[in-house]
């Protein structure tokens, strides 16, 4: 597996290109991501959204059109792709696949699983591909996603953190903002966040 990352836009939202098994997966193409993605893919097969916030989905539609590949978005966040109260000029996009909670896909032997951890948004998910987990805005290095946005829910975030704390394995986490971390490293902070939400 080879992972390329570039922070995009004013919010420095990480766009990832994950190359595995001869296939390229584009995760969270934010503002201005199209040119970089086009220059760095050889066999793109899917665009994957961790959640629906504008800074993670801005280039969805443009890449769908240019690459002719399907867009996968958590079902509970699809409504966020059509409009943004923060960014009225968000280019609307429509997923080809509305992903159910904890749904797994098999791309000719490459397994991609959406792990549903709502709270930051209703559909907020981590995407698991091999030994890597792309956490979007659920978990960051020593931090978690905000719960004071429209459609955020602190109670759901607490429950998600409780479930995150019980994950029995360790993998590298690639967040939506900032640098990498690991499941085990962030699990040790879970109780703090649960108590302070």
> What are the tens digits of pLDDT across the range 115-144?
999 999 999 999 999 999 999 999 999 999
pLDDT at 57: 98
Q: What percent of the chain has pLDDT over 70?
A: 100
Local confidence band at 73 (pLDDT 50, 70, 90 cut-offs): very high
Local confidence band at 88 (pLDDT 50, 70, 90 cut-offs): confident
pLDDT at 84: 74
Instruction: Report, as an integer, the average pLDDT of 169-196.
Output: 98
pLDDT at 83: 81
Is residue 51 within 8 Å of 136, Cβ to Cβ?
yes
* pTM of the predicted model over 0.75: yes
Q: What is the CA radius of gyration of the chain?
A: 15
Residue 51 has pLDDT above 80, yes or no: yes
pLDDT at 86: 76
**Mean predicted lDDT score pLDDT of the chain:** 97
Q: Identify the structural domains of the chain with CATH numbers, from first to last.
A: 2-196 (3.60.15.10)
Residue 85 has pLDDT above 80, yes or no: no
């Amino acid at each position: 597996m080879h992972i390329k990352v570039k922070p995009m836009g004013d919010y420095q939202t990480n766009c990832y290109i994950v190359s595995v098994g001869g296939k390229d997966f584009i995760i969270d193409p934010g503002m201005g991501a199209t040119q970089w993605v086009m220059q760095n893919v050889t066999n793109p097969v899917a665009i994957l959204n961790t959640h629906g916030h504008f800074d993670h989905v801005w280039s969805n539609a443009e890449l769908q059109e240019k690459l002719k590949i399907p867009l996968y978005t958590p079902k509970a966040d699809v409504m966020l792709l059509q409009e943004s109260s923060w960014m009225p000029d968000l280019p609307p996009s429509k997923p080809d696949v509305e992903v159910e909670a904890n749904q797994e896909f098999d791309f000719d032997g490459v397994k991609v699983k959406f792990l549903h951890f709502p709270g930051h948004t209703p559909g907020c998910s981590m995407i698991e591909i091999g030994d890597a987990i792309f956490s979007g805005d659920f978990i960051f290095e020593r931090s978690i996603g905000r719960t004071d946005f429209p459609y955020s829910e602190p109670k759901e975030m607490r429950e998600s953190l409780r479930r995150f704390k019980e994950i029995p394995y360790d993998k590298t986490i690639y967040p939506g903002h900032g640098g990498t971390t690991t499941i085990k490293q962030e699990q040790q902070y879970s109780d703090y966040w649960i108590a302070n939400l």
